[in-house]
Amino acid sequence: MKDHNYPGNIGLIILCFLIFSCHNNSGPRKENFVTNPEKMDEQIGENIHEILDYALLNHGKINDSTHLKFASITNSFYLQNNYNNTWSKKEKLVPMVDSLLLFLTQVKLYGLFPADYNLKKLEDIKKVLNTDSVQRMNAIRWSEADIAFTDCCVGVLKDLKYGRLMKDSSPELSDSSLKGKWLVNNFQLLMKQSSLSNYLNTIEPSHKGYQQLKAGIKIFLDSMDNRIYTYVPYPFKKNNSKDSLFFIKKIQKRLVESKCISDTTSLPDSLQLSAAVRKFQKLKAVKQDGNISSTLIRQLNNTDVEKYKRIAITLDRYKLLPDSMPEKFVWVNLPGYYLQVWDHDTIAFSSKIICGKPETRTPLLTSSISDMVTYPTWTVPTSIIAKQYLPKLKTNPNYLAKIGLKLVTINGVDVDPIKIKWSKYTKGIPFKVMQNSGDDNALGVIKFNFNNPFAVYLHDTNQRYLFKNSKRAFSHGCVRVQEWQKLAAFIAENDSANLKPGDQLLYNTDSIFSWISTKKHQRINVKNKLRIFITYYSCEAKDGKIKFYEDIYGDDKELREKYFNDK
């Protein structure tokens, strides 16, 4: 009889194992009631361990409605604290819960979005634990709440310190990374503070521009139009009928919202659409041409809600800077068309600049000014040669001479363009095109070099009249500086002031301007290399209010659509 029943017993064991396994994989327990408040904290700790083990194996999921954004970092914190509960003691929420929830109601003052931190859900959790006597005995409820508050707070720390211009799942945010360790350590420190907001303020950038922009948010929010208007993506694929149709529907919906066209299910024809556009342009007091263009789309999308996103993006750009800036540095802000020289937290002077056109944009970079050249020669970038000069050389080999340029070998030997068979070149040429130094040189009378892979630099210009324009994206990528005299003098005076005993400086301010007055080509090595930051900040605080600049290269648009599309 035993032999006959043995296979059946094995089957029963396997069936029980499968049932247990299925139950175990369905997630942590949903209920775990503890009637003795003195025993609650011990049980919460056990549950936290179990829930986080499950979350780490299930992409942050802890139950059907909750996914942790920072499961590994949250787990690292609890691991260091033996999985003890943090946000409650003996069935009572600690005061820090109220501080966190209050902060979350005010996060827009920090360029953050309340929805990113599940404010409503956390408020509901608090309400249930404070008012539901049955759920207050459920250790699972307390455990999930503790983890949720921690995960939220880690998110706040991360966004205030590092910003959002990287994915939350970035390798840089693993629990073993430098940023992950910083988050764990600072969450530990935060939970020991008496004031949550005071501590959070200390981890933000100290840069003056950041602090001034943040201070201007309140005035902006006080008068902000919070209506959500349809965002119109642009450009659309003109040869793609599906994409074109999507675009027309979007722009129609946006014009309906501004009461420039009647709300209808049918699509407008070209005349109706043009009339609606002119009506919108009239509302904005701009030229009424009825044309759909990038300028129109910028105007349609330039709502207060979208402006706030640009503030958020700009604040996050500051978080990408070093924690401490050099004592002296050059700051170039491309959308603002200006250069500033900072000296010990004070702006020594400012200058208008001309930067690259959108098709030949000035790159964003950090470097150090290494040398200056008076009466420089200009070597034309290969991109300009291929696109602009080569087609004309094929029809007129004397074209370069006509515009004051010359053709040379890579080693600098003059080449007669008449003897070159230009028809055989299509994408470029094995020569350099140069302009001799002089008052007509495109670089003007001085240039400032700094190491970078883009072959760009700061320089004077022979088209100084362009500085009178409000929009100044005209160059092929380099930055033209109106106040080049002040920049040269600052660099010379900085080298002189920091001269060490026994050192000799081979130049000063007077010698620079002497070489320029005599039109001498002279390279000047900068002894104390001056840091330079070429940046892209499309808004800043001016006299307490926020000023917005045109997104000349569409960088904010790209970041908005990548990171802030659902905000």
Whether residue 126 lies inside any domain: the answer is yes
Whether residue 553 lies inside any domain: the answer is no
Q: Note whether 107 and 218 are within 8 A (CB).
A: no
Which pLDDT score, from 0 to 100, does residue 26 have? 59
CA dist 112 and 311 (Å) reads 10
Which pLDDT score, from 0 to 100, does residue 175 have? 82
Give the dihedral of Cα atoms 64, 66, 67, 72; nearest 10 deg. -120
CA dist 415 and 524 (Å) reads 29
Q: What is the pLDDT of residues 294-315, one digit of tens each?
A: 999 999 999 999 999 999 999 9
Q: What is the mean pLDDT of the chain?
A: 91
Whether residue 354 lies inside any domain: the answer is no
CA dist 8 and 37 (Å) reads 46
Give the dihedral of Cα atoms 181, 185, 186, 188; nearest 10 deg. 140
Q: Note whether 351 and 339 are within 8 A (CB).
A: yes
Residues 6+ apart with CB under 8 A from 414: 406, 407, 408
Range of the domain at 162: 24-204
Band (16; pLDDT cuts 50, 70, 90): very low
Give the C-alpha distances (Å, rounded to integers) separating 344 from 321, 426, 450. 17, 51, 22
How many domains, the chain?
2
Whether residue 102 lies inside any domain: the answer is yes
Strand partners, 530: 369
Residue length of the chain: 567
Token pair in block for residue 428:
């470029």
For the residues 193-209, what does the mean pLDDT come to?
Answer: 95
Radius of gyration of the chain (CA): 32
For the residues 180-189, what does the mean pLDDT come to?
Answer: 96
Q: Note whether 340 and 334 are within 8 A (CB).
A: no
CA dist 88 and 96 (Å) reads 9
Report helix, strand or coil for 528: strand
CA dist 458 and 351 (Å) reads 12
Strand partners, 338: 333, 352
Q: Which of 158, 184, 204 is the last residue of a domain?
A: 204
Q: Could you tell me the pTM of the whole model? A: 0.88
Q: CA 59 from chain center: how many Å?
A: 26
CA dist 299 and 122 (Å) reads 37
Whether residue 76 lies inside any domain: the answer is yes
Whether residue 6 lies inside any domain: the answer is no
Q: Which residue has the tokens 């999930």?
A: 144
Token pair in block for residue 290:
């009825």
Which pLDDT score, from 0 to 100, does residue 2 have? 42
Which pLDDT score, from 0 to 100, does residue 7 have? 45
| 477 dihedral zone (left: phi>0; alpha: psi -120 to 50; beta) | left
Whether residue 258 lies inside any domain: the answer is no
CA dist 384 and 389 (Å) reads 7
Whether residue 108 lies inside any domain: the answer is yes
Q: Which of 174, 204, 234 is the last residue of a domain?
A: 204
Q: Note whether 541 and 215 are within 8 A (CB).
A: yes
Q: Which of 179, 204, 229 is the last residue of a domain?
A: 204
Token pair in block for residue 56:
């780490």
Q: What is the pLDDT of residues 368-427, one digit of tens each?
A: 999 999 999 999 888 889 888 999 999 999 999 998 899 999 888 999 999 999 999 988
Task: Give the rounded percent of residues in the chain with a pLDDT score beyond 90.
Answer: 79
Strands 406-408 and 432-435: antiparallel
Report helix, strand or coil for 339: strand
At residue 230, φ and ψ (nearest 5 deg) are -60, 130
Which pLDDT score, from 0 to 100, does residue 71 have? 95
pLDDT: is 475 or 426 the higher one?
475
Lowest mean pLDDT across 75-79, 167-171, 409-413, 470-474: 167-171
Q: Which residue has the tokens 């503030």?
A: 311
Cα angle 214-218-220, degrees, rounded to a multiple of 5: 95
